[in-house]
Amino acid sequence: MRSTTVRPPAKPPDGPDRELFALFRRHTHVDPIRLLLLTIVLAGCGAQAAAPGAGGTVSGTNGPFYAEATPARLVAGGSVHLTLTVTGPIDYEIGCVQTLQIWAEDSQHQPVWAQPVPAIQCMAFGHKALAAGETAEFTADWPTSSKLAAGTYSVHGLFLVVLPMGAGARVRENLPPLAIQISG
């Protein structure tokens, strides 16, 4: 058997808090609809709207390569700007070669875009060496198609380093892949 104790109402405090506690006793019923609307209004205070799905930066490193792409989220049809910082010591190809090559793949690893390779009109090949701690910066852009489906895509790249004598075949890619969110 449960016992129930009936307590007398608490005595209101004396002094400046008396008026505050009187307000609480007066308003005992809260309309749930008004409370919900008040919560929504207060939750929106100070919020800043951004363009739908736009902005941010994504970056990654792989050995001497630091790659950064902006924006990391964009609407199909916009452009992604890639900045590659290479830190020495490293020896890379220059001259009539495309030193930085980038392409984009969908979530199924299927290519959706490749940077056009310019027609080379010369045979001047060379190399440049960066000393330890020295840096060089390269840029490229991916102009996304307005017909791309919404989803996650990745930007990949190959930076043409000078291969040492006797080295095997060149790798397919050596830059860190960067995830890009495309919205429709």
User: In the prediction, which pLDDT does 180 show?
Assistant: 98
What structural domains and CATH numbers belong to the chain? Answer: 58-183 (2.60.40.2360)
pLDDT at site 125? 77
At 165 the pLDDT is 77
Instruction: Tell which residue, 83, 56, 53, has the closest CA to residue 68.
Output: 83
Per-residue model confidence (pLDDT) at position 12: 54
Count helices and strands (H / E) in the chain: 2, 11
Q: Which regions in the chain score pLDDT beneath 70?
A: 1-54, 118-120, 168
DSSP conformation class of 160: -
C-alpha neighbours within 13 Å on the C-beta side of residue 178: 29
